[in-house]
Chains A and B, each alone.
Chain A
Amino acid sequence: MRDVAIVAFAQSNCQRDAGAQNEVELIMPVLQEVYKQAGITNAQDVDFTCSGSCDYQQGAAFAFVAGVDALGAVPPIKESHVEMDAAWALYEAWLKIQMGHAESALLYGFGKSSPGELPIVLSQQLDPYYLAPLWVDTIAFAAMQARTMLDSGAITELDMAEVVARSRNNALSNPYAQLKSDGDAASLLDEPMYMSPLRRHDCCPISDGACAMIICTVEKAKEWGKPYAVIKGIDHRIETHHIGSRDLSRSVSTEIAGKAAGVASGPVDVAELYAPFSHQEIILKQALGLSDDTVINPSGGVLAGNVMMASGLSRIGEVAMRIIRGEAKRGVAHATSGPCLQQNLVTVLEAK
């Protein structure tokens, strides 16, 4: 596979409630920012555009159609959309570049979760005959997963609190983060239970926002004269929807995707893992075989701010930007979807 360059990335602040701003208004600033970084004018200057969003967040069929209004798609453009996190939009564009149908692509993801009750909305992504009628929400599922790990002795509550404390501390240096603090793990354990064994801080916050990225062939990046990070490997996998058929303390689909993307073929300086619940970061670290030498979630990760449908692409952007700034040479980014990490995408990025 040919190397693909990430030349631009921008994200909005993670806000609990973007108020009257609509999706187009959330998208426009991040698009303008990536155009500026790449030195282009608008979506007409790339060969392909792809986005990720979810109709149910907005509560409307074809919610993504309005997003096209943000692109300046006159004359018409080559454009597509996934009803997934925008990390998968990146994957679709990466295939287009591999097959030679595009040299450059614009990607964006957006979500406004504030108008609804996100955990309840997401409960409707479960099997509609056996699970959805029970209204099991995402937090309940994650709590069950954490409980099996605690009961088996795989983790302790302190391990979970340490993930949260590190996330909040790291977020202090992230201007886009929603939750940041300098507390330690021990004091977090004094907090009350929310949905046992999860405390409120074990769960990612609900955020509104958007992110955007521009990728291209290495030749194009050189032509544009912009610094870039290189996608060395990318793969995505899904596993059974039936929670009862899975070992919840592992993420088998992440393991497969990590191998296929080549995570182990070099040292990993930095990793951004999409772990909406604290214990899931521990599962993902193991699934990807990351050592203690890897800096995990230096941005604070999604425990510090989680824009559904954009957070996965943002993990990739965070790693790419650290590589571009020279803070890391090789990094791993991960995106997830579905209950208890059902679906996962892994990207390996390197300096040019």
Chain B
Amino acid sequence: MAQLAAVVGVGQTKYKTKRKDVSIAGLVREAAVAALEDADLTWNDIDAVILGKAPDMFEGIVMPELYLTDALGCNGKPMLRVHTAGSVGGSTAIVAASYVQSGVFKRILTVSFEKQSESNAMWALSNPQPFSPHLNAGAGGYFAPIIREYMRRSDAPYDAGIKVAVKDRLHGAKNPLAHLQLPNITMKEVEDSPMLWEPLRFLEACPSSDGACAMIIANEELATKSPRKPAWIRGTAMRSEPTMYAGREQVNPQAGIDCAKDVYAQAGIHNPRKDLDCAEIYVPFSWYEPMWLENLGFADVGKGWELTMSGATSLDEGGDIPWNCSGGVLSSNPIGASGMIRFAEAAQQVRGEAHGHQVEGAKTALGHAYGGGAQFFSMWVVSADKP
């Protein structure tokens, strides 16, 4: 049986286009030290470090965890490096949790980061490969046709994506760490921004950010003694499927459906919209909110956009199931960390530590990440209540 484990400390850097004031080591250490302070711990209290990031080519360093060992106080300890494409921040948190849930370690540090300003992600994603079609489009160009298919099938109004872009930036304006600070953004402003990949406009896409996120996960005994409220891990799940195969459902991927079912079953979630108080979901392009609302069972297939348009996912409109109160990936996107930020923000909500973007009385929250061609999924459910 898995041992109980809980998040007892969270640390995040300020997210911005270029963190010129810190090295990569300085960046990860900033998040790690913040997490240690949040948990009232020191480096000696940590048994192992689990590090995640997206492709090494984003910074141009092969296996950077080797070099980051010293900055993360890991000398003489175990260090593991996870890489599962865009879902990596979430997968890393899940692997990190398994260090404690297995009973092998008592308290570990997990960190994920991206310093996009060190290199060029668009280039790193687009270098040609033998035996493969050459996509020069980056992530937005890859997902745009899938979004167009969603719009066709669901007959969604053209401005559902615009609504998400505004909503998440208004949420982000309540979070001082968020990269984009756009408290006065309007639907008109989003609509007037340049079209990048039909139907995605500039302001419907995530920014490129530098940043790091860290969490400390402890076993039951140590979590109970922690100075601040722990976020108990109620379920973790991962699923993968190939990028392409004949008949693959790309709008509503089976891997996402299966992953959600698995994590809900572990956490006792029967009706996600009712049983969860909020969710931090990986939405790098606006239209992925309505699409994931359906994929994750918050809305019937074809009806996700109705939830979005009704304001159900908006903190400002008093929605019953606020999504991405932190501003989400649309407000900050240090790629390798973006999944972990979702998991950590879910934890902060149930710990009551989300400050300006706190959902009042939040008890149970979902953290979600996806990656590759919407083919890798990782999710966890955290709760203020011990199972």
Contact B124 A239 (CB under 8 A): no
Contact B130 A80 (CB under 8 A): no
Number of A-B residue pairs having CB atoms within 8 Å of each other in the complex: 185
Contact A100 B2 (CB under 8 A): yes
Please name all residues of chain B whose beta carbon is closer than 8 Å to the beta carbon of A66 when the two chains form the complex: 132
Of A124-132, A149-157, A313-321, A323-331, the one touching chain B: A124-132
Contact A60 B75 (CB under 8 A): no
Of A69-77, A165-173, A207-215, A262-270, the one touching chain B: A69-77
Residue of A nearest to B257 (CB): A76
Chain B 31-46 interface 0/1 with A at a Cβ cutoff of 8 Å (1 = within): 0000000000000000
Please name all residues of chain B whose beta carbon is closer than 8 Å to the beta carbon of A236 when the two chains form the complex: 78-80
Contact partner of B76 among A65, A73, A239, CB < 8 A?
A239
Contact partner of A54 among B62, B104, B245, CB < 8 A?
B62
Is B293 engaged at the interface, CB distance under 8 Å to the other chain? no
For the complex, what is the distance from the CA of A47 to the CA of B241, rounded to whole Å? 14
Is B182 engaged at the interface, CB distance under 8 Å to the other chain? no
Contact B240 A61 (CB under 8 A): no
Contact B84 A100 (CB under 8 A): no
Is B59 engaged at the interface, CB distance under 8 Å to the other chain? yes
Please name all residues of chain A whose beta carbon is closer than 8 Å to the beta carbon of B74 when the two chains form the complex: 238
Tally of B interface residues using CB under 8 Å: 64
B residues 40-97 near A (Cβ < 8 Å) are 54-64, 66-70, 74-85, 91, 95
For the complex, what is the distance from the CA of A96 to the CA of B69, rounded to whole Å? 24
Please name all residues of chain A whose beta carbon is closer than 8 Å to the beta carbon of B84 when the two chains form the complex: 80-81
Chain B 353-385 interface 0/1 with A at a Cβ cutoff of 8 Å (1 = within): 000000000000000000010011000000000
Is A99 engaged at the interface, CB distance under 8 Å to the other chain? yes
Contact B80 A61 (CB under 8 A): no
A residues 212-254 near B (Cβ < 8 Å) are 235-242, 252-253
Is B243 engaged at the interface, CB distance under 8 Å to the other chain? yes
For the complex, what is the distance from the CA of A124 to the CA of B56, rounded to whole Å? 10
Residue of A nearest to B258 (CB): A76
Residue of B nearest to A64 (CB): B83
Please name all residues of chain A whose beta carbon is closer than 8 Å to the beta carbon of B56 when the two chains form the complex: 54-56, 61, 83
CB distance from A216 to the nearest CB of B (A): 16
Residue of B nearest to A83 (CB): B83
Contact B62 A73 (CB under 8 A): no
Contact B242 A74 (CB under 8 A): yes
CB distance from A262 to the nearest CB of B (A): 14
Please name all residues of chain A whose beta carbon is closer than 8 Å to the beta carbon of B129 when the two chains form the complex: 58-60
Residue of B nearest to A122 (CB): B62
Contact B124 A61 (CB under 8 A): yes
For the complex, what is the distance from the CA of A54 to the CA of B58, rounded to whole Å? 14
For the complex, what is the distance from the CA of A95 to the CA of B258, rounded to whole Å? 22
Residue of B nearest to A68 (CB): B242
For the complex, what is the distance from the CA of A220 to the CA of B69, rounded to whole Å? 37
Please name all residues of chain B whose beta carbon is closer than 8 Å to the beta carbon of A125 when the two chains form the complex: 61-64, 66-67
CB distance from B263 to the nearest CB of A (A): 12
CB distance from A17 to the nearest CB of B (A): 14
Contact B69 A239 (CB under 8 A): yes
Contact A238 B79 (CB under 8 A): yes
Contact A124 B77 (CB under 8 A): no
Please judge, given known A-B contacts A61-B125, A80-B95, A84-B80, whether A338 and B66 are in contact too, CB under 8 Å.
yes
Contact A95 B85 (CB under 8 A): no
Please name all residues of chain B whose beta carbon is closer than 8 Å to the beta carbon of A49 when the two chains form the complex: 240
For the complex, what is the distance from the CA of A65 to the CA of B142, rounded to whole Å? 15
Is B346 engaged at the interface, CB distance under 8 Å to the other chain? no
Contact partner of A55 among B57, B79, B239, CB < 8 A?
B57
Residue of B nearest to A121 (CB): B62
Is A78 engaged at the interface, CB distance under 8 Å to the other chain? yes
Please judge, given known A-B contacts A69-B242, A240-B75, whether A62 and B66 are in contact too, CB under 8 Å.
no
Is A343 engaged at the interface, CB distance under 8 Å to the other chain? yes
Is B127 engaged at the interface, CB distance under 8 Å to the other chain? yes
Contact A242 B70 (CB under 8 A): yes
Contact B61 A124 (CB under 8 A): yes
CB distance from A45 to the nearest CB of B (A): 16
Contact A98 B62 (CB under 8 A): no
Contact B78 A82 (CB under 8 A): no
For the complex, what is the distance from the CA of A74 to the CA of B85, rounded to whole Å? 19
For the complex, what is the distance from the CA of A147 to the CA of B58, rounded to whole Å? 35
For the complex, what is the distance from the CA of A237 to the CA of B242, rounded to whole Å? 33
For the complex, what is the distance from the CA of A81 to the CA of B84, rounded to whole Å? 6
Chain B 250-277 interface 0/1 with A at a Cβ cutoff of 8 Å (1 = within): 0001110011000000000000000000
Contact B254 A61 (CB under 8 A): no
Is A32 engaged at the interface, CB distance under 8 Å to the other chain? no
Chain A 86-117 interface 0/1 with B at a Cβ cutoff of 8 Å (1 = within): 00100110011011110000000000000000
Is B3 engaged at the interface, CB distance under 8 Å to the other chain? yes
Contact A73 B240 (CB under 8 A): yes
Contact partner of A76 among B59, B125, B132, B255, CB < 8 A?
B255
Contact B127 A68 (CB under 8 A): no
CB distance from A99 to the nearest CB of B (A): 4
Is B224 engaged at the interface, CB distance under 8 Å to the other chain? no
Residue with the greatest number of chain A CB neighbours at <10 A, chosen from B2, B70, B79, B376: B79
CB distance from A81 to the nearest CB of B (A): 5
Please name all residues of chain A whose beta carbon is closer than 8 Å to the beta carbon of B258 when the two chains form the complex: 75-76
Please name all residues of chain A whose beta carbon is closer than 8 Å to the beta carbon of B237 when the two chains form the complex: 78
Please judge, given known A-B contacts A95-B102, A96-B98, whether A238 and B57 are in contact too, CB under 8 Å.
no
For the complex, what is the distance from the CA of A98 to the CA of B54, rounded to whole Å? 27
Contact A239 B75 (CB under 8 A): yes
Contact partner of B240 among A77, A129, A132, A242, CB < 8 A?
A77
Residue with the greatest number of chain B CB neighbours at <10 A, chosen from A98, A121, A236, A238: A238
CB distance from B271 to the nearest CB of A (A): 23
Is B194 engaged at the interface, CB distance under 8 Å to the other chain? no
Beyond A71-B242, A238-B69, A241-B66, 4 extra complex contacts between A and B, CB < 8 Å: A62-B125, A236-B80, A242-B70, A338-B66
Q: Which 8 A-B pairs have the closest CB atoms?
A: A61-B55, A76-B255, A98-B102, A79-B240, A125-B62, A83-B83, A76-B241, A99-B102
Q: What residues make up the interface of A, taking CB atoms closer than 8 Å to B?
A: 1, 22, 49, 54-56, 58-62, 64-66, 68-69, 71, 73-84, 88, 91-92, 95-96, 98-101, 121-122, 124-129, 132, 235-242, 252-253, 256, 337-339, 342-343
Query: Can you offer 15 A-B residue contacts whose CB atoms are under 8 A?
Result: A55-B83, A59-B127, A61-B127, A64-B83, A69-B243, A81-B83, A84-B63, A95-B99, A95-B102, A98-B104, A124-B62, A125-B62, A239-B75, A239-B76, A343-B66
